[in-house]
A and B are shown apart, each in its own frame.
Chain A
Amino acid sequence: MRTKSVYKIPKGKILKISLDYNEKTNIINDLNISGDFFAYPEESIELIENELKNTVMENDIIFKKIESIVNNYKIQFIGLDLEGITKGIMMCKK
């Protein structure tokens, strides 16, 4: 199932998520993160998109996975945060 969400990060920027997931297993097949935020290095968003494929769409699982990527690769966000990405993704769950 392909779904989309648009979420304004509190005191931040607009985050748009487009994702495809399996309704039966709740597993993410494909994910696209876009918006007018800043991320350093820029390639980190693609990394997060790839790492979240085949992940179960559950708040804590998604948050911890992104948190671990951010810490491992020393990613800095401006106008975006871990909570926001997690929320944007979970908003896609119907």
Chain B
Amino acid sequence: MMDKWRLLQTGYLSAYTNMAIDRAVMLSHSKNSVPPTVRFYGWKPSAISIGYFQSLKDEVELDACNKLNIDYVRRITGGGAVFHENELTYSIVISESHPSIPKNILESYGRICGAIIKGLNNLGIESNYSPINDIISNGKKISGNAQTRKIKTVLQHGTVLTDVNVEKMFSVLKVPTEKIKDKLISNVKERVTSIKHILGEEPTFNEIAYSMKKGFEEEFNISLVDGELTKEEIELTKKFENECFSTYDWNHRK
């Protein structure tokens, strides 16, 4: 019989809440309280997430973020700074020992990215995994991904770009010098693509989420069943939001 995993569709939430939910689900799954879980979500207000090892002040124009009402948060996963605006974000939480998850970390990136690639294919977009942590379509990045492994559990989250506003992105992300800003903007425009750019139109968030759901089901040969956060996960989310992701100490720790 086909395995049933949980699907969470939590809509648009703040950066702190989004990162807190991913961590709460990870902890909850590690205690066997919930099945493997896939979540689709968005960010309101728009936000920047930085990698666990990045320096906030090195990567983010904090004054510009405050002026434009853009949140910023440190992730528990490594990788680079991401401006979350026009995108669908996914996360998957699953045991490290699950037979579908390769022990080798890089191989497991490829396997999970396989679900996103199938999801994009369902939208009519051909793409492939580009190690270390990207998915590319026609040579251009359409998805960035980041994974952590703790408490014998894998959390991978990533973006699927629906549209890109490179100028806005570089108004809130730090660039080495103003002098090369224009060059960086044109470089990124050449290296990054989006669903809207490829299809000529932007499907709705729900249409993209449906395609991605099918992508996960096809890749892992499972059935994703709509679910909700448990009471324990809601409590954990509040705790992680208040004690970690919204705090100065966490976000400015590097």
Docked-complex contact B254 and A40, CB < 8 angstroms: no
Quick check: is B80 within 8 A (CB to CB) of the other chain? Answer: yes
Contact residues on A (Cβ < 8 Å of other chain), bracket:
10 to 19
A34 within 8 A of B: yes
Flag if B76 contacts A42 (CB, 8 Å).
yes
Measured between alpha carbons, how far is A41 from B155 in the docked complex, in Å? 13
Q: A41-B150, A78-B106, A78-B132 are in contact. Are A34 and B78 (CB under 8 A)?
A: no
Query: A35 to B81, alpha carbons, bound, how many Å?
Result: 10
Interchain CB contact (< 8 A) of B132 among A14, A16, A38, A45: A38
A37 part of interface (Cβ distance < 8 Å): yes
User: In the docked arrangement, what's the CA distance between A79 and B105, Å?
Assistant: 12
Q: From A35, which residue of chain B is reached at the shortest CB distance?
A: B53
The dominant DSSP class at the A interface is strand
Which range contains the number of B residues in contact with the other chain?
A: 20 to 34
Contacts from A to B (Cβ < 8 Å): 12-14, 16, 32-42, 45, 76, 78-79
- Contact of A39 with B78 in the complex, beta carbons under 8 Å: yes
CA distance A34 to B50 in the complex (A): 11
Q: How far is the CA of A40 from the CA of B146 in the complex (A)?
A: 12
In angstroms, Cα B109 to Cα A78, docked, is 11
Interface residues of B (CB under 8 A from A): 51-55, 58, 76-81, 105-106, 132-133, 146-150, 254
B132 & A42 in contact (Cβ 8 Å cutoff): no
Complex partner residue of B58 from A34, A41, A42, A79, CB under 8 angstroms: A34
In the assembled complex, which residues on chain B have CB atoms less than 8 Å from the CB atom of A42?
Answer: 52-53, 76, 78, 148, 150
B144 CB to nearest chain A CB (Å) = 10
Known: A45-B53, A79-B132. A36 touches B80 (CB 8 A): yes
**Besides the contacts A38-B77, A38-B133, A39-B78, what 8 more A-B pairs have beta carbons closer than 8 Å?**
A36-B53, A36-B54, A36-B80, A37-B53, A40-B105, A41-B150, A42-B150, A79-B132
Also in contact, A38 and B78, with CB within 8 A (given A32-B254, A33-B53, A78-B106): yes
